[in-house]
Structure 1
Amino acid sequence: MSLDKRDRKLTLFALTWPIFIELFLHMLMGNADTLMLSQYSDNSVAAVGVSNQILNILIVMFGFVATGTTILIAQQLGANQHKSASEVAAVSLVANLIFSILISVVVVIFSDQLLRIMDLPQELIPDAAVYLQFVGGFAFIQAIIMTIGAVLRSYGYTKDTMYVTIAMNILNIVGNYLFIFGPFGIPILGVEGVAISTIVSRFIGLLVITYLLMKRVSFSVNFKTVFELPVHHIKNLLKIGVPSAGEHLAYNTSQMVITYFITILGAEALTTKVYAQNLMMLIFLFAIALSQGTQIIVGRMIGARDYEGAYRRCLKSFYLAMTISTSMAILFSTFSDSLFGVFTNNQEIIKVGGTLLLLTIILEPGRAFNLVIISALRAAGDVKFPTYMGILSMAAISIPVAYVLGVHFEFGLAGIWIAFIVDEWVRGILMLMRWKSRVWMTKGFIGEKAAS
C-alpha cells in the first residue's frame, strides 16, 4: 500500500523548512531573553538559565503526549484512517490540558525546593524563584500549544505553527524591551518583566493556534464526548509517549545533575555554559527540524506499509543532518569570539566559550545520530530501545565522566563537554546499528495493533 496523492506532496523539504523557522524562533525567544538580560546583569542570566533547566523537564513531561500524538496521527493518516486520527487529536488535547495544569500547580508550590536541589548560589535564588513561579505556573499554556502544534504538523500544516511562533517571538521581544529597558516611564522589572512577557506572548499564541486548529482539522468527535472514546487511544499515546518521555527525561535529568556540577565551578562557569548552549542550539536546530520532518514522513510510510521507503528516508535525513551540523559547528567555532562578544565583554567567558565551541565540532555530528534516528525509530513504533540505551548511556557515561573530568580532574567546562561528546557518539552509533538491523519493521502499525 502506498501513500495517497495528497500525502505524497508532503516532502521532507516542505515539512522541514517551516519547522526549522519555528524552532529557530523558539530558540531566538530564549536567546532574546538571555541577550536582553545580559544587558541587565550576568547573574540574572545565570538565574534564568537554571530555572529554564527545570522548566525544560516540564516541557519533556508535557511533550510525551505531543510525541505520541504526532506519531499516531501520522501513521493513521498514512493508513487513511482519518476518523481515528481526529479522535487521537481530541484525546491528546484533553489529556495534556489536565496533566499540565496539575504540574503547573506543583511547580508554583515547590519552586524554592526545586531551586535548592540545584544548589543554586544564594545570590541567584530570588531572581530564579520569580522566573520559575511565573513561567512555571503558566506552563500549561505551553503544553497546549505543543499539543496543538503536534496535531497541525501531523496533518501537514507546518506553516501555521511557524506563523504563530513568529507572532509569539515578536510579542516576547517587545515585552522584554519594555520591562528591561523601561522606555516611556515603564518600570524596569528585570527577570520578573521577562517572565511576564513570556507568559503574555504564549497566551496570545494559544488563542491564535487554537483558532487555526478549529479551522484546519475536521474533528469527527465532540469534545464534550471525548471521554467516551475508545480507551485504546490513551493506551497508544502512553505506549509511544512514556518511553519517549523517559529518554528525554533521562537526558534532562542528567543535564540538571551536570548543571549542579557546574555550580561547583562557580557562577562564571554557569553563565558561560548558558551562553555556549544558547549558541549551540542554533547549530543543532537544523538536525532537530530534519528529525521532526522525518518522523512525520516515516510515520506515514509505516501506516502505508512502505517499510523500505521509511528505511531509506531515515538514512538520507541522517546523512544530511550530520553534514549540516558539522558545517555549522565549524562556522560558529571560527567566529566564537565575536559570537560570545554579543553576550558579554568578560574575556574569561569568551575564552572558555571558544574552547567549548571548538569541541562542539566533534559533539554535533554525534548529536545528529540521535536526533534523526531516534525520531525515526519512534515513528516506526520502536520506542523502548532508544529509552533503555539513553538511560544507560547517561547514567554510565554522561554524568560520571562529566564529574571525573570536569570536577575531579579540574578540566572544568571542557571536561564536561568531552563527556557530552562520548555520550552522544556511543548512543548514536547504537541507534544507527538498530536502524540498520531493521528490527523496527517487526513493530508495525501501532494503531492497528491496539484496534485489532
Structure 2
Amino acid sequence: MTLFALTWPIFIEILLHMLMGNADTLMLSQYDDNAVAAVGVSNQLMSVIIVMFGFVATGTTILVAQYLGAGDRERAGQTAVVSIVLNIIAGLMLSAALLFFGRPILGAMNLPPELMDMALIYLQIVGGFAFVQAVIMTVGAVLKSHGFTKDVMYVTLGMNVLNVVGNFILIFGMFGAPELGAMGVAISTAAARTIGTIVLFGLLARRVRGELPWHYLTARFPKRDVRDLLKIGVPTAGEHLAYNGSQVVITMFIASMGTVALTTRVYTLNIIMFTLLFSIAIGQGTQILIGHMVGEKRFDDAYRRCLRSLSIGIGVSTFAAITVYIFGEQIFSIFTSNQQIVELGMTLLLLTILLEPGRAFNLIVINALRAGGDVRFPVYIGILSMWGVAVTVSYGAGIWLGFGLAGIWIAMALDEWLRGLLMLWRWRTKKWQKMSFADNPAAETDEPVPQTAGH
C-alpha cells in the first residue's frame, strides 16, 4: 500500500465531487447569476451539515485503518457496521431539520430577498436527502480504509455523469421536461447521490464480504465502538464546525456587500478548489497510511511519512495556485461575462497564491495527527484561530476598513498559516505516539504494512 496507489484514486474522486458542484454552478451561470448566488449560500449551509456526517466518517477511517494495521479485522468490521447505522440515524434527523426550518435559517444569514425562494427550494430538496450523503461518506470511508479507493472513485464518476445529464434536462427544460432552474439542479443532485448510495452498498457487500457483522448491533448496544467513534469524531466535528460556522458568519459579511460580492465568492471558490485537490488527496492518503503504521507501532515511519507528504503538498498546491491565477481571466469567462466579477475574482486568485500553502499545512498535518489519535489539539487551536483571526480580521479588513472580499481573503490566509505552523509544531512533539486506539503490542517491527484484499 503506497501513498501514490492510495492517493490518485482519491484525487480523481475529490476532483469529480468538485466537478459535480462546478457543473451545477457552470450550468446555472448560463441560466441566471442570481440562481448561482442562491445555490452558493444554500451549499454553505449544506457544508455545515456534511460536517455532522463527516465526524463519524473520519472516526471510521482512522479506527478501521488502525485495526487493520493491528491485524484485528473483527474490530474493524464491528466499527464499520456501527458507523454506517449511526450516520444513517443522524442523517435522517438533520434532513428533517433542513426540510422544516430552511426559511428561518436562510433568513438569519441576511440573504437578499430576491434570492430567498430559489435558495429555499434548493436547500429543502438537497437537504431533505442529506441522509443519502451521510451514507455515501461512511461507506466510502470503510472502502477506502480497506484500500479500495478506486471503487469509490468509479461510483463518484457515475454520479457526476448522472448529475450533468440531469442538470441539462431539468435546468433548461430539454426533451419536454419542465424548465426548473435551481430546483432542477437540486433534483438532479439528490437523484444522482441516491443512485450512488445504492451502488456503494453493493460494492461494500462484495469487497468486504464476511467482515461486516450486521448481527453485532442486535446482540447488545455497541457502547465501546460508539465511544471510540465519538472520541475521534466529536473533536473532529468541533474543528470542522468551528471552521464552517466561521465561514457562515463570513458569508453573512459578504452578503451585506451585495449580490455581486456573493456571486464572485461562489465563482472564485469553485475555481480555487482545484488548487486544493492535491493537498486534500495527499492528506487523506497519508491518513490511511499513518493509521496502518500506528496500528503496527511503526511510529518513526509514520513521522517521516507526514513530513514527506507535507513537502509534496505545499509544493504542488503553490504551483497549482500560480497556474490558476495565470489563466484566471479565461477561467472566469467560462462562468460569467460580468467584468466587475472577473476583476474582483482575479484579485482573489492572486491572494490565493498566499492562501494555499497554509491550507496544505492544515489538510496534511491535521490528518496525520488524527490518524495517530491526537484529535483534541486541532480543535482548540482551530476555534481560537478561525474565530479569533479569520472572523475578526474579515470584519476588520473587509467591512470596517473597506477592503471588501480582498480583506476577507487576507484574513483566511492568516488563519490557515497560523494553524498550519502550530499543527506542524504539534506533530514534531510526537505526543500522538501515545494516543493510538488499536492495541497491538506485538507489532514493534518495521516490516511493511500487510496487504489487504484487492491491493
When the two structures are superposed, what TM-score results if normalisation uses the length of structure 2? 0.95
**1:444 Cα deviation (Å)?**
2.7
State the alpha-carbon separation in 1 of the partners of residues 439 and 260 from structure 2: 50
Alignment of 1:262-341 (within 5 A): 262-341=254-333
The 8 Å contact of residues 284 and 325 in structure 1, kept in 2 or not, is answered as yes
State the alpha-carbon separation in 2 of the partners of residues 219 and 235 from structure 1: 24
The 8 Å contact of residues 118 and 182 in structure 2, kept in 1 or not, is answered as yes
Give the letter for the 1:72 counterpart: L
**1:445 Cα deviation (Å)?**
3.3
Q: Which residue of structure 1 aligns with residue 430 of structure 2? A: 438
For 1:206, which of 194, 197, 202 is the aligned residue? 197
Distance 1:55 1:448, change over 3 A: farther
Q: Which residue of structure 2 aligns with residue 58 of structure 1? A: 49
Q: Does the alignment pair 1:357 with 2:349?
A: yes
| SS of match in other structure, 1:218 | coil
**1:220 Cα deviation (Å)?**
4.3
The 8 Å contact of residues 48 and 244 in structure 2, kept in 1 or not, is answered as yes
**1:181 Cα deviation (Å)?**
2.0
**1:335 Cα deviation (Å)?**
1.0
| SS of match in other structure, 1:381 | coil
**1:231 Cα deviation (Å)?**
1.6
For 1:41, which of 27, 32, 36 is the aligned residue? 32
Percent of pairs with identical residues = 57
Q: Does the alignment pair 1:148 with 2:128?
A: no
For 2:96, which of 105, 123, 127 is the aligned residue? 105
Q: Which residue of structure 1 aligns with residue 234 of structure 2? A: 242
Deviation readout 1:23-74 (Å, 9 max, x if unpaired): 0000000000000000110000000000000000110001100000000000
| SS of match in other structure, 1:62 | helix
State the alpha-carbon separation in 1 of the partners of residues 315 and 381 from structure 2: 24
For these two proteins, the number of residue pairs brought into alignment is 440
Give the letter for the 2:243 counterpart: Y
**1:352 Cα deviation (Å)?**
0.6
Distance 1:317 1:355, change over 3 A: same
**1:229 Cα deviation (Å)?**
5.7
State the alpha-carbon separation in 1 of the partners of residues 309 and 41 from structure 2: 33
The 8 Å contact of residues 87 and 134 in structure 2, kept in 1 or not, is answered as yes
Q: Which residue of structure 2 aligns with residue 184 of structure 1? A: 175
**1:440 Cα deviation (Å)?**
1.2
| SS of match in other structure, 1:104 | helix
State the alpha-carbon separation in 2 of the partners of residues 446 and 133 from structure 1: 41
State the alpha-carbon separation in 1 of the partners of residues 31 and 427 from structure 2: 48
CA RMSD of aligned residues (A): 1.1
The 8 Å contact of residues 72 and 447 in structure 1, kept in 2 or not, is answered as no
The 8 Å contact of residues 302 and 445 in structure 1, kept in 2 or not, is answered as no
State the alpha-carbon separation in 2 of the partners of residues 416 and 344 from structure 1: 22
| SS of match in other structure, 1:187 | coil
| SS of match in other structure, 1:273 | helix
Give the letter for the 2:410 counterpart: I
State the alpha-carbon separation in 2 of the partners of residues 127 and 172 from structure 1: 19
For 1:194, which of 174, 185, 204 is the aligned residue? 185
